[in-house]
A and B are shown apart, each in its own frame.
Chain A
């Protein structure tokens, strides 16, 4: 079997989760770099968690392609499994920290009194809020996909075995 055909659903889903999480980071960077309410409002812990999740998934994918045996396989499989369990939780952590830091801003933008809405619901602020919401959705999607991925093997079982 060639490399592609060897990959099982777990690998593909993990890869997709990794990409989605990476995209969420890009959206985050664009969001805090653009005019609007959340400009420059960095959330380092959220980023750190997200990067940790991405690294964990990358490590999982790499380890999944390395053929080892004996005690190395035992250790590798357990580490990979723990990372696959932890990665979605880390993404959830990233999401929750982001939510925590954005609640006040969302409250201002969406829940202010009618007479001040003109001041807070500017095009820039709404675009900024939408960017943050996209960021959150991407993190949530990354978490869900990586959770689903954890239900599947990374590689198809070698028929020779």
Chain B
């Protein structure tokens, strides 16, 4: 009896221990795959990084963490000082008297956006918000209004939430009432600003207006518009405080906000409005002549921990105002040609792309139904889909932002035959009138101190790698020493050749800018340089390369694009009598040494012939007819964009290239070969270490060492390491490279540094992309890049997605706060500054997201059609400064398609332009690999992607799925790729780029060693103990069974 009971007990225990064994064995594999995520969550360290301090090539410029933190803080303050833009300054409202009184109106006055730490804000203990900065400067803040907002209406309080995974209590700031921080995806957007007539309802004293000493008080109204990943503003989705849909533009000031301004005007002698956003807002109502006109308007961007100190230094005149607008501010965004095609919609027969029994199955996914619906989420999941059902046509071509408004203005005066004054695109009347459409132009910048900027000389080096150098004289006409902004613009010739061959030219183009200190009454010369290649234009129709037109190039220095174009018109003999809204105020330098059309100098780049690589990005390529008419200054009326989703039916089945189009949308850019066996990798007796990598290897990617090194990588690992790039680059067998983890974020490294001695935590993501842009100062960007690099060295992390350089094509992109400007060259030069600074410290700083990721709506599959001039001269030019000129080390690719091709599959973009033309040897990462049917691994490898951003950790293999196939793409396995030498060799080539990049970075100074964390040890102990117990208990069970049976038989 006893033996029978015991056998049951032992069997039961065996089942428990066997289950624990199964749990620990499989759990160990899972934990290993998500090691980085576990480390982040559990605050453990799996890899110990050792720095060879004695021989390190890259060392921090700061000896102590306090020095490092101070330097970062100082740059952030400078961003506030240099990025604050005085847009309107009437009645001497600026600068504010440091002993004056201000009344703060608007929710963002008390909690500037963003108010909580996270991706956008660092969250250091000593951060300073706007109210505090004003008080620190000596200003008195009206307490009655402050009390109402802070204590009655907003009521800030700590919100403690328990991390659902770790159980840790996390504290953030919450408010009873605050502005909406969630834009959503073209959804209703509530502007939750309380109108002034409801203050008392929410606790303001009935006599609150009497509390304001009107004569001696200036009102500061601060209004915010937020942003966010996967967020896109709709064009008419505003909802008011009462919760009513107004049908208005959510970026325009709402009636509730205007009521606050009116109350401020009633109670204060002067009124200032501060714009706290990364999106150009609709502010015509408060600008000159508006129904709610105010005395002063300033742009303050999206703030971070310390920028408010710098912003207040500008508002109070402690420093001169030198910021400039990065975008054009217009009365009605419907006047923007890019907005005519925004958001997108379905092809009329998008379903024919689907793989199913009716259309035929995809050979890569036999018998699998794959739709072509747009997935509800860009975060993957859901039904299988190619996600390619929708498209937009970027028919505005190069005419984004000011290039449209200023060119049309110029043509309305200089080229009346161009129909520039026609009704097309006019929102303020029956004819198009610049002054009725534009409120503040790109580059608009008011200085407190009177100054002049004049181009003194221009030198153009016409060689392929030559520079154009302009010397600008800045004359300080004031009686104070000051700091000034010089902006350089050019007008390229618009020739008959251009007109005949559809080469578009903006009437004015920003080139670069610089700042300089000038003593009172003195002049200083500042040299501004840009690569000459940016004077060339892309002819996509005839010679299919860059051309430099013959003729007059007008260089001018001006405070904004409109002043620049007026200067050029003045130099061409035009005045207000010809229709100009203002006579020229500055001089122009004409350069005309290019005597004939040059189609050769810029037709090669880095030894590569520059020619069309994206004919199929043009919708007309597929339809076989002129379906799309691109905006042209030859006829503004006849070419103004229609909406190519609503006004035109695009039918895939009608295409003469129907099958090719469908294949492209299905992501079949490359077919895996079956008859060309690849060579298996094996130990070549070389390693990734300082013994093998000397200067000759660092400077020459063609050195035989690199081929030998990557030849040692197995077929499984070469393909696996690329298509499972994950959140870290893993150690490759036979290579023994260090682990490199990737880090967010766009305002600096997100990981924090904790000083072991003091316990103090430092956050270094203190930058503001918006204010860095509006600083118009590439030197400041370079300083920030150095800081970002130094913080990487302090943190011991070497890879960051640390800036955003996508063009702000429209004001509605919810991610504009991460980007710099509507202008390619301003973005290009700021990007150049940041990346060159980071490179000096050996840090991989990858800008996001190359390739027209200019809307978040349907970002994970929408096709963006365009012609190749637009492709090369807009979004790609934004990145060219960072990746080609500054020799960037990393980049993240757009989520969307360029034409019908996934940007991460686009060999024309990534291999031909980026790698060959720009000579880029760095890391190329996809955006989030959220959909295996949209991202094709073979196509990404062939496009020279070095890491596909899935979320695994230690997963360098393609045999981890069921039955030895790839876990994500079942048609990929060692068996299927080993007979395609081209594919495998390209994967090795891509890893060569990655390793070469590491060799030219601070990664070369470190080695990583895997160490066991406490949970590694715990799992190991559980495995051993449960295994041993299982054996013992099973034997015990058998023993008791035998005993019991024998007794029963007896």
CA distance A125 to B29 in the complex (A): 27
- B9→A86 contact, CB < 8 A: no
Over the window 210-226 of chain B, the binary record of Cβ atoms lying under 8 Å from chain A Cβ atoms (1 yes, 0 no) is 00000000000000000
Residues of A within 8 A of B227 (CB): 115
Q: Which residue in A10, A35, A100, A143 is a CB contact (below 8 Å) of B26? A: A100
Contacts known (A37-B381, A151-B11); A77 close to B1045, Cβ less than 8 A: yes
CA distance A93 to B480 in the complex (A): 77
CA distance A45 to B970 in the complex (A): 14
Selected A-B contacts with CB under 8 Å, 10 pairs = A35-B383, A37-B380, A38-B381, A81-B1041, A92-B22, A97-B26, A112-B379, A114-B182, A128-B381, A143-B19
Contacts known (A99-B30, A115-B182, A119-B230); A89 close to B381, Cβ less than 8 A: no
For residue A111, CB closer than 8 A to chain B, the reply is: yes
Contacts known (A115-B230, A116-B228); A36 close to B15, Cβ less than 8 A: no
Contacts known (A38-B381, A81-B1037, A96-B30); A122 close to B15, Cβ less than 8 A: no
Q: Which residue in A92, A105, A118 is a CB contact (below 8 Å) of B182? A: A118
Residues of B within 8 A of A99 (CB): 30
Over the window 1-24 of chain B, the binary record of Cβ atoms lying under 8 Å from chain A Cβ atoms (1 yes, 0 no) is 000100011011011101101110
- B19→A88 contact, CB < 8 A: yes
Contacts known (A84-B11, A147-B12, A152-B8); A89 close to B382, Cβ less than 8 A: no
For residue B184, CB closer than 8 A to chain A, the reply is: yes
For residue A103, CB closer than 8 A to chain B, the reply is: yes
State the Cβ distance, B201 to closest chain A Cβ, in Å: 29
For residue B164, CB closer than 8 A to chain A, the reply is: yes
Contacts known (A78-B1038, A103-B34); A96 close to B377, Cβ less than 8 A: no
Contacts known (A35-B382, A99-B30, A108-B379); A89 close to B11, Cβ less than 8 A: no
- B382→A119 contact, CB < 8 A: no
- A150→B30 contact, CB < 8 A: no
Residues of B within 8 A of A73 (CB): 1045
List 7 additional A-B contacts (Cβ < 8 Å) besides A103-B30, A115-B230: A89-B18, A104-B951, A113-B119, A115-B182, A115-B231, A125-B382, A147-B15
Contacts known (A88-B15, A143-B19, A150-B14); A119 close to B381, Cβ less than 8 A: no
Over the window 138-157 of chain A, the binary record of Cβ atoms lying under 8 Å from chain B Cβ atoms (1 yes, 0 no) is 00000100111011110001
Contacts known (A88-B15, A119-B230, A124-B376); A39 close to B383, Cβ less than 8 A: yes
CA distance A87 to B231 in the complex (A): 48
State the Cβ distance, B418 to closest chain A Cβ, in Å: 42
A109, A119, A157: most-surrounded residue (chain B CB, <10 A): A119
- A89→B21 contact, CB < 8 A: yes
For residue A26, CB closer than 8 A to chain B, the reply is: no
A38, A84, A147: most-surrounded residue (chain B CB, <10 A): A147
State the Cβ distance, A29 to closest chain B Cβ, in Å: 15
- Which chain A residues have a beta carbon within 8 Å of chain B's beta carbons? 10, 35-41, 44-45, 73-74, 77-78, 81, 84-93, 96-97, 99-100, 103-105, 107-116, 118-120, 122, 124-125, 128, 143, 146-148, 150-153, 157, 161
CA distance A153 to B1040 in the complex (A): 14
Chain B, range 1019-1042, C-beta contacts under 8 Å to A: 1034, 1037-1038, 1041
Residues of A within 8 A of B22 (CB): 89-90, 92-93, 96
Chain B residue nearest to A103 (CB atoms) is B34
Contacts known (A74-B1045, A96-B30); A147 close to B19, Cβ less than 8 A: yes
B8, B18, B377: most-surrounded residue (chain A CB, <10 A): B377
For residue B118, CB closer than 8 A to chain A, the reply is: yes
CA distance A110 to B381 in the complex (A): 13
- A151→B165 contact, CB < 8 A: no
- A85→B8 contact, CB < 8 A: no
- B8→A100 contact, CB < 8 A: no
For residue B229, CB closer than 8 A to chain A, the reply is: yes
CA distance A105 to B19 in the complex (A): 25
CA distance A92 to B17 in the complex (A): 11
- B21→A122 contact, CB < 8 A: no
Residues of A within 8 A of B15 (CB): 84-89, 146-147, 150
- B8→A119 contact, CB < 8 A: no
CA distance A129 to B27 in the complex (A): 21
State the Cβ distance, A3 to closest chain B Cβ, in Å: 22
Contacts known (A74-B1045, A96-B23, A100-B29); A120 close to B379, Cβ less than 8 A: yes
- B381→A39 contact, CB < 8 A: yes
In order of increasing CB-CB distance, the 7 nearest A-B pairs are A115-B228, A151-B12, A37-B381, A150-B15, A96-B26, A89-B18, A89-B22
Residues of B within 8 A of A90 (CB): 22
- A116→B230 contact, CB < 8 A: yes
CA distance A70 to B661 in the complex (A): 72
- A122→B376 contact, CB < 8 A: yes
CA distance A98 to B379 in the complex (A): 19
For residue B384, CB closer than 8 A to chain A, the reply is: yes
- A40→B384 contact, CB < 8 A: yes
Residues of B within 8 A of A161 (CB): 1048
Residues of A within 8 A of B118 (CB): 113-114
Chain A residue nearest to B33 (CB atoms) is A100
User: A-side binding surface: helix, strand, loop or mixed?
Assistant: helix
For residue B51, CB closer than 8 A to chain A, the reply is: no
Residues of A within 8 A of B4 (CB): 153, 157
Residues of B within 8 A of A38 (CB): 381
Residues of A within 8 A of B19 (CB): 88-89, 91-92, 143, 147
For residue B517, CB closer than 8 A to chain A, the reply is: no
CA distance A115 to B229 in the complex (A): 6
- B228→A85 contact, CB < 8 A: no
- B182→A108 contact, CB < 8 A: no
For residue B327, CB closer than 8 A to chain A, the reply is: no
Contacts known (A81-B1037, A92-B22, A104-B951); A115 close to B181, Cβ less than 8 A: yes
For residue B823, CB closer than 8 A to chain A, the reply is: no
Residues of B within 8 A of A124 (CB): 376, 382
State the Cβ distance, A132 to closest chain B Cβ, in Å: 11
State the Cβ distance, A87 to closest chain B Cβ, in Å: 7
CA distance A35 to B371 in the complex (A): 13
For residue B207, CB closer than 8 A to chain A, the reply is: no
For residue B810, CB closer than 8 A to chain A, the reply is: no
For residue B244, CB closer than 8 A to chain A, the reply is: no
CA distance A116 to B229 in the complex (A): 6
Contacts known (A85-B18, A113-B229, A115-B181); A107 close to B951, Cβ less than 8 A: yes
State the Cβ distance, B964 to closest chain A Cβ, in Å: 12
Residues of A within 8 A of B37 (CB): 107
- B381→A108 contact, CB < 8 A: yes
Contacts known (A108-B380, A113-B229); A45 close to B962, Cβ less than 8 A: yes
Contacts known (A44-B962, A96-B30); A151 close to B23, Cβ less than 8 A: no
Chain A residue nearest to B18 (CB atoms) is A89
A88, A115, A116: most-surrounded residue (chain B CB, <10 A): A115
Residues of B within 8 A of A39 (CB): 381-383
CA distance A104 to B1037 in the complex (A): 40
Contacts known (A85-B18, A120-B377); A40 close to B11, Cβ less than 8 A: no
Over the window 21-60 of chain B, the binary record of Cβ atoms lying under 8 Å from chain A Cβ atoms (1 yes, 0 no) is 1110011011001100100000000000000000000000
Residues of A within 8 A of B379 (CB): 108, 112, 116, 119-120
CA distance A60 to B1048 in the complex (A): 21
Chain A residue nearest to B1048 (CB atoms) is A161
State the Cβ distance, B268 to closest chain A Cβ, in Å: 35
- B30→A86 contact, CB < 8 A: no
Chain A residue nearest to B172 (CB atoms) is A114
Residues of A within 8 A of B16 (CB): 88, 147, 150
Residues of B within 8 A of A157 (CB): 4
- A92→B34 contact, CB < 8 A: no
CA distance A98 to B1037 in the complex (A): 31
Residues of B within 8 A of A100 (CB): 26, 29-30, 33
Residues of A within 8 A of B231 (CB): 115-116
Residues of B within 8 A of A92 (CB): 19, 22-23, 26
- B30→A125 contact, CB < 8 A: no
Residues of A within 8 A of B11 (CB): 81, 84-85, 150-151
